[in-house]
Homo-oligomer: A and B are copies of this chain.
Amino acid sequence: MKKLLLCFAIVPFLAQPLEAQDSEPENATPNSIVAASSAGEWVVIDPEDLLVMELAPDAQGNPRRVVIQLIPAPFSQPWVENMRTLARANWWDGTSVNRVQDNYVTQWGDVTEEKPLPEGVEAPVAPYEARTDCVATPEIGSETYTVNCFPISLRDIGDDALYTGNQNPGFSAGWPIVHRGAGRGANDVWPIHCYGYVGVGRNYAPDTGTGAELYTIIGQPQRHMDRNLAVVGRIIDGMEHLSSLPRGSGELGFYTEDEAHLRTPILSVRLASEMVDAPSFEYLSTESQSFAAYVAVRANRDDAFYTVPAGGVDICNVEVPIRRVGEAPEE
């Protein structure tokens, strides 16, 4: 029998509903919980929030499509709007992937750095955190509570949630976020870098970048990136096309001139809302009962393979389940 080293990062729609029906609660797995979720717990992603990037085919001629979900308000919207403008202007067409640094990032954009930007696309003077005037009233441990006017589910993460000290990770509208909790800076809330998440490249602070130069995390995310770089989205399909590229031998993983042939051409980047036959995706509501159960199981794996529960989970290891619309498992 194959040494399986069972994996629970399988995309949700590969889960087996039978397993979900047969399993006792103590044997539930993240996949069985997702498979058992109800259709009403899923939220379709707005086509205005989907960017479809077509890379040049691989050496065998296979197409390489990458789908990026843009982060919703109130986070990073000046950069997100720049990205929509760049896509509508076909600006990324003919650019390339220019940097791949192992256990850090894959970065793409205009390698010449001379391509004129569309009118109106400028580096915004904007914060990496969101702030609101509404009063934060956190109740740690309760299923949900309101902070900065966002419903945040922390059920069963509690003290075992992994982020930096005295900061509370949670989920809002399908995205992992962090807030400072009650008291000190409770009305600060910010998005975080996880594997496959997309951010805006920039130069030295306070330059904040425009959104034309982007990167995605291809290793373990580093917390010092949060609040220092703009998180604008995440790869929800085709991540392997960016994570498996050859690493660059130049400083910071940039391809050297001798490696110019390794730069992956970007054929096009389009908003799904402007495409014919655009792909459609949905995510499991982070306010749903199934998501709360999913978090609890991720924090306390106890099944046929994993017999010593960790008692906690890094917020980035709670991958929000996302699937193509129409690809839910059969009832």
Contacts and interface: CB of A to CB of B under 8 A. Distances in A.
B305 A205 contact: yes
Interface of A: 1-10, 14, 59, 100-105, 107, 109, 113, 128, 158-160, 162-167, 194-196, 199, 201-206, 209, 213, 215, 218-229, 239-240, 243-247, 251-254, 298, 301, 304-314, 316-317
A301 B195 contact: no
28 contacts: A2-B113, A3-B202, A4-B201, A5-B105, A5-B199, A7-B253, A9-B102, A9-B222, A100-B244, A128-B308, A162-B164, A162-B223, A165-B311, A165-B312, A194-B220, A204-B304, A205-B306, A206-B307, A219-B219, A222-B314, A223-B312, A224-B310, A224-B313, A225-B306, A227-B310, A228-B305, A240-B246, A243-B243
B219 A3 contact: no
B247 A304 contact: no
A225 to B, nearest CB: 8
B203 A4 contact: yes
A1 B163 contact: no
A253 B310 CA distance: 24
Q: Is the interface of A mostly helix, strand, loop or mixed?
A: loop
Nearest to A217: B220
Pairs of residues from A and B, 4 with the lowest C-beta to C-beta distance, nearest first: A164-B312, A3-B201, A224-B301, A160-B165
B109 A3 contact: yes
Total copies of the chain: 2
Contacts of A243: 102-103, 218-219, 243, 247
B252 A10 contact: yes
A199 B6 CA distance: 13
A104 B9 contact: yes
Contacts of A1: 113, 203
Contact of A228 (B2, B308, B313, B316): B308
A6 B194 contact: no
Nearest to A222: B317
A173 B226 CA distance: 31
A317 B220 contact: yes
A204 B4 CA distance: 8
A160 B220 CA distance: 17
Q: Which of A158, A219, A254 has the most CB of B within 10 A?
A: A219
B104 A226 contact: no
A102 to B, nearest CB: 5
Contacts of A244: 100, 102, 244-247
Given A219-B219, A244-B245, A224 B5 contact: no
Given A163-B162, A224-B306, A310-B224, A107 B3 contact: yes
Contact of A104 (B7, B196, B308): B7
B2 A254 contact: yes
Nearest to A225: B306
A317 to B, nearest CB: 5
A104 B196 CA distance: 12
B305 A204 contact: yes
Contacts of A159: 165-166
